[in-house]
Amino acid sequence: FACLAWSHSETQLLYVAEKSRPKPQPPCPWDVPGAAWPAAEDEDEEGKQFVYHEDWGEALSTRSVPVLCILDLQNLSLSVLEGVPEHLSPGQALWSPDDRGVVFVGWWHKPFRLGLNACSNRRSGIFYLDLASGCCELLSAEKGSVCSPRLSPDGQRLLYLEGAVGGPHRQCLRLCMVSWASRAPGTAVPPSQHSAPLAAFAGLYTEALPLRCWAADSQRAVLGTPQRSRTQLWSPTRVLSPGSSDGCWELLTLQWDLLVATCSAPHHPPSLVVAVLPPAGHELPLGWVPVEDTPTVPGVTWKTLTIQPPCSRQGLNAQDTQAFEALLLSPSDGTPPHPLVVCPHGECGDSGDTLAVLVAAQVMPMLAPGGPHAVFDARWRPSMAALCQLGFAVLLVNYRGSLGFGQASISSLLSRVGEQDVADTQLAVEQALHREPLDPHHLALLAGSHGAFIALHLLTREPERYQACALRSPVSNLPALLGTSDIPDWRYTSLGLPYSFERVPCAEEVATMLLRSPISQAAQVQTPVLLCVGARDRRVSPTQALELYRVLRARGVPARLLWYPEGGHALAGVETEADVFKNCAHWFLQHLGQ
């Protein structure tokens, strides 16, 4: 929801705040019969102290009713804007070109709120609120999911991202543009509906546009987006990041045609670079200049593996044989074959990255979605480099359904969760062991959220293959999440079932969910399992891990549960992340005999 925008006159500041509620009366301090605090000014608030108030879920538990506010520095006044429809929660606001109104994103919150963090499929719209008349006008599609409105420097065009409502929690997006004069929306870049060949543009998957993404000519914009297993800087006409060894480019800002970005790779912490954006039609090659360069980390090498599913039956569609990718990080020191840590992703951006926040210069989103639609791009991940320096090779698997490979790849996983993603991870491990100098007798699993769901399936299918497993915020019991997760819609969508707000599962659907759940086959697990959970996780209840822990202990399987009282789904924070990594690394060293 956050925004902080100066008016063009620089006399007013627009921001978003949480609407305050009346505070409950404190208990009477006097032990005198009949003594009490004075009566509440608003009698309607009596008896409402314990009324439940919805919030927006994981990482947004303190956000319920956002309001738009204006601080007027000339009149020294503060006001809450009226005119926002009651069924909307406003945010991401900016001033109109003439300062006579504001543009904002409004999220529908009726009949109830679903988790919003890392979910680009919630119904929302771009609205214009006229400050004089109080009239509120919808500028985007009637039923879409939008974010990141960005006004061009000349005030003539409004750019934003738009996706479909419902379906996958992350998806391929459209880049849309509104002509301010006519208020007519249009699509600047449509989504990529098909699987993307290696050299083709695979679509837009960024979670937000940079705050400053427009060129000075108001004709071009620049943004970063995953393209297969790399994140590239892109303009609607061409790729702007060079084809170097760096696998992740992120735009920080674009001002006066000066591009400021970071670039990193699995063996190279982020470097700060700048370039001048030439006139239209002359963008390549850009002359990137390092401002703050960082050396590569010794002892780490990496490569991208292309994994090709076998053609094993007749009547296959294109998605059944679509190639996917995995990133292999290997120690450059030591004697091969190396023990291998396998990481199927689950959380977006920081999957398996428990040390990212410890690096002061790191520019990395700490997101916490639950679900498979994410991607391991070839960025710097401190924890993965640390595992390499401990002597482990690391395999980061972008199974079919990952971002960056086309919308068709994302959709191919729906109804196949627990099957296609598990088989793809299994195939990636087999092909990596066949191609690379890796030790097939020393394998471990490291994953979080949906990645942990995949890892548990692997443990039940091949009980003797893996010698150790460390999981964060694991999904193990799908039907149990229906009443505990902030995204209950995903439990239906992932299995190809329709969802509506009034949905109540029937017995057959609950049975289907349970059959796809690793907990139903937990008796097959023999591998020592470390579980790390946050007590405040709103996306995947920590009781999922607790149930699994009890089953494993009852069957004599070595298991350890780490319970972080203040942790959420991402287990973020310096102390928490350091402790999680330390325990995971020690677990692998202990059980792999290193």
**Which residues are marked as active site?**
449, 537, 569
Distance CA 576, CA 6 (A): 37
401 touches 490 (CB < 8 A): no
Count of alpha carbons within 13 angstroms of residue 392, beta-carbon side: 28
Distance CA 415, CA 403 (A): 17
Kindly state the DSSP code that residue 435 receives in the 8-state scheme. H
- Which value, to the nearest 10 degrees, does the dihedral of the CA atoms of residues 526, 348, 270, 352 take? -10
DSSP track, 69-96: EEEETTTTEEEEPP---TTEEEEEEEE-
Tokens 């005198």 found at: 32
Kindly state the DSSP code that residue 375 receives in the 8-state scheme. -
Contacts of 51 (CB under 8 A, 6+ apart): none
Contacts of 264 (CB under 8 A, 6+ apart): 246, 247, 248, 270, 271, 379, 380
Distances (CA, A) of 353 to 105, 109, 303, 360: 31, 33, 18, 15
Phi-psi region of 422 (alpha: psi -120 to 50; beta: other; left: phi over 0): alpha
Distances (CA, A) of 339 to 6, 14, 308, 513: 54, 54, 23, 34
In 3D space, the residue among 201, 42, 184 whose CA is nearest the CA of residue 126 turns out to be: 184
Distance CA 479, CA 509 (A): 9
Which burial class, exposed, middle or buried, applies to 43 when counting CB atoms under 10 A from its CB (0-12, 13-18, 19+)? Answer: exposed
Distance CA 473, CA 544 (A): 8
Q: Dihedral sign for Cα 477, 478, 483, 486, please.
A: positive
Burial 480-498 (b: 16+ CB within 10 A, else e): bbbebbbbbbbbbbbbebe
Burial 143-176 (b: 16+ CB within 10 A, else e): ebbbbbbbbbeeeebbbbbbbbebbbbbbbbbbb
Tokens 């919805």 found at: 54
Tokens linked to 485: 């997760």
3-state secondary structure of 538: coil
Tokens 């608030």 found at: 45
Helix axis angle, 574-591 to 382-389, nearest 10°: 30
Distance CA 585, CA 320 (A): 36
Which burial class, exposed, middle or buried, applies to 91 when counting CB atoms under 10 A from its CB (0-12, 13-18, 19+)? Answer: buried
